[in-house]
Structure 1
């Protein structure tokens, strides 16, 4: 295949994409396939000779769409969304065509400088201090790992990277039970260890109890342990829980500890000033991560980490062998120094396109609609016989159950087998509950209220 053929097939792919999105509502959100069914349709080895693109594209159409979970389906209410606005898709096509590797300023001047400007745009849009800065990672997991590594090194007086952790005091990191599993992964990779991630008790609002945080830190200091930092959540994955950021930051700072805030989902909603009370006190944090690919329409992957001062993270992660130095340009920004991978995609382009194509007010309208529709749906579900709202809407996320754990789990299986909507589960206070997360870029009120329709159809006269 050459570039002339690419021109033809790229247009064919664009036509296919338009038809795919236009027909998503007619597809089940989750495919009706069994494990191994896709692999069984593929040859056991790669072809020795080139095959015509017509045959390759035909196989794609026959095998892939019918075995895909359709994350862009307007009735995808599972997990959190991984959105892809049309403007973002276009930007990704252009980034893919240029196929740059943005590890250094000199390898990607436009990508580097547009990234810096996008960070400044987002800081302003979220109401965060203009003195902060930041970078774009692949996911919140990488951003949180980067922050935790920096916490570890600062606590160890920069000896962890050089000498390793053997012989060091036992390190401790603090987070609430509602914090995402990426924090657990970070302590494992950072060498802190799962047993040293202290899950602090939560209060009545499901957020971290500041007094319990203070007590845990004091207890560990008394036991000779070395606290390294605190990770807070705003919009936890399970039920959308939010830690009381300001009060917890005050406790952490009283002990000289840095704070990282995981707002991967809910952070995007802070472009709406009326929601910022959910992270009141955020200006006292040291690091915050949010994912524009979850709720701002920027195609996955796109996680933004903003920092009050990047010095510790840069000192922890920067490596500059001779072959990575930009000769004669000592003051340039090389964003690989801010994160774990050396290689970097041109992620800023899709932010640039998306923010311009829809505008902040257009994006705010979408988020406000999602929040309002989720609230309306929760009220409708609460009115159904046998149903209980377990946790009310946190922005556009709520949970419910149907009579018992066993019946709730059985109902979830029926919902997803039905195919009209896709929901997922969690456990809260020991009970099996079903999550509804509204946020798909193109969903409508009618799509959201389809959840109520499906529940009515499936339970019928059972109640």
Structure 2
């Protein structure tokens, strides 16, 4: 493909994406076809000769797009959002076009330095503690996801707890990580990958109302483990849990970690974005105790996947835990100690120029534009919660501090399961479910960029009509 051919094909692809966004509201949110439909529509093997981009776009229209779950759809209320935006797509396009491999400062100086500054910009926008800024001992880096951030934090915590002697499975001491029963599944996966096994994580009970970690239960667990010869390594506290967006109480958890010398990682994958709004920073109270912190701009901050912002208070500790320097990566800049090599801040060696899309998003929207986006989502969720609260057939099952509403029909699980299936079967909206205190609970997460009051009212009308008439019993 010559530069001129690329130019013409690029125009066509951008037009296709713009048309896709413009017609999202006219499409079913989820695919109506059975499993195997896409595979059945593809040729048995690759083409012998090249094909024009027009043929590829035609197949996008007929084969691919109708069989997607449309995460940017204004009726998508399932899971947490996975936002993208025009500026993000353009930043990704530039990144792909440059093809930079940013493993070392020397392999892409601008790639590294822009990322450092973007993480400082984000830290300022969220008003994170000064210890996470690159001007001091700490700093930030882009990981692919909060799952990877948790894994990196686990490895650093093990390095600290073992006095730098952690070498994985087979060590002669037992180590343990703590999180609440509402913590994300990626925490357990990180513990397994790190070599601690299923016994390496201890789940701490939560408050039955707030669904947040109990500090008293955490303290008791740590003290019991220490008495049994187990080494407490890390506590993972969550700001905005996946099921209900509960906020673990950092002002109480932090001092417990400090008292016992336990690494504190804060996972704010979804809710961290809300901290661009000063009135929504309540989840960050006590964050000064944290050794590391992360959130996903690719969830609620209009930046396409993958982009997790991860900060540490002690970058030297992180690098010491993860660095492996073969001869073929040695270079004068690294040896000088004057640069950051982000390969030492993550598990993989290679890395894309992800800071570009973050740069484009921050510059296009500005902090005020991002605040407007977050506030709109919170207001729409509150609008929906008001509808639920006013209908005696339903109950809200957890607080909704951000843009997720957890609700259910009063009574047994069966009608709730049937309600969810009926609403999702409409093709107009998509919700998911969780279990809260053992009860089947519907989740409505607002976040798609095109969602308006009309879409929130529509989903409530669908739910209200599909629900049984009259209160239960």
1:235 to 202, 226, 240: 240
Residues in 1 aligned to 2:55 and 2:125: alpha-carbon distance in whole angstroms: 47
Matched, 1:386 2:393: yes
2:425 to 393, 417, 427: 417
Residue of structure 2 in register with 1:361 after alignment: 368
Residues in 2 aligned to 1:35 and 1:446: alpha-carbon distance in whole angstroms: 32
8 A contact 1:244–1:279 mirrored in 2: no
Q: Secondary structure at the match of 2:243?
A: coil
CA apart distance, 1:190: 0.5
8 A contact 2:105–2:333 mirrored in 1: no
TM-score, structure 2 as length reference? 0.94
Residue of structure 1 in register with 2:447 after alignment: 439
Residue of structure 1 in register with 2:289 after alignment: 284
Show CA shifts across 1:351-383 (max 9, x none): 111111111111111111211221121110222
Residue of structure 1 in register with 2:416 after alignment: 408
Mapping of residues 185-334 of structure 1, within 5 Å: 185-203=189-207, 204-329=209-334, 330=336, 331-334=338-341
Matched, 1:153 2:145: no
Residues in 1 aligned to 2:171 and 2:264: alpha-carbon distance in whole angstroms: 26
Residues in 1 aligned to 2:257 and 2:274: alpha-carbon distance in whole angstroms: 25
1:335 to 327, 331, 342: 342
8 A contact 1:239–1:394 mirrored in 2: no
Residues in 1 aligned to 2:240 and 2:348: alpha-carbon distance in whole angstroms: 27
**RMSD of aligned Cα (Å):** 1.5
Matched, 1:80 2:80: yes
Residues in 2 aligned to 1:173 and 1:358: alpha-carbon distance in whole angstroms: 39
- Return 5+ residue gaps in structure 1 as ranges: none
Q: Secondary structure at the match of 1:394?
A: coil
CA apart distance, 1:460: 6.9
TM-score, structure 1 as length reference? 0.96
Residue of structure 2 in register with 1:40 after alignment: 40
Q: Secondary structure at the match of 1:421?
A: coil
Show CA shifts across 1:170-190 (max 9, x none): 111111111111101100100
Residues in 2 aligned to 1:38 and 1:339: alpha-carbon distance in whole angstroms: 35
- Return 5+ residue gaps in structure 2 as ranges: 133-138
8 A contact 1:145–1:190 mirrored in 2: yes
Residues in 2 aligned to 1:450 and 1:314: alpha-carbon distance in whole angstroms: 50
Residues in 2 aligned to 1:384 and 1:128: alpha-carbon distance in whole angstroms: 40
Q: Secondary structure at the match of 2:141?
A: strand
Are residues 327 and 398 of structure 1, via their aligned partners in 2, closer, same or farther at CA, if it must alter by over 3 Å? same
8 A contact 2:204–2:214 mirrored in 1: yes
Q: Secondary structure at the match of 1:369?
A: helix
8 A contact 1:120–1:130 mirrored in 2: no
Q: Secondary structure at the match of 2:211?
A: coil
Residues in 2 aligned to 1:295 and 1:51: alpha-carbon distance in whole angstroms: 37
Q: Secondary structure at the match of 1:332?
A: coil
Residues in 2 aligned to 1:67 and 1:379: alpha-carbon distance in whole angstroms: 34
Are residues 328 and 137 of structure 1, via their aligned partners in 2, closer, same or farther at CA, if it must alter by over 3 Å? closer
Show CA shifts across 1:139-169 (max 9, x none): 11001100011111211222223xx431421
Show CA shifts across 1:268-316 (max 9, x none): 1011111212221001101001001111111111000011112222111
Residue of structure 1 in register with 2:179 after alignment: 175
8 A contact 1:246–1:279 mirrored in 2: no
Aligned length: 461
CA apart distance, 1:462: 6.7
Show CA shifts across 1:57-94 (max 9, x none): 32222111101111111221111111111111111111
Q: Secondary structure at the match of 1:319?
A: coil
Q: Secondary structure at the match of 1:15?
A: helix
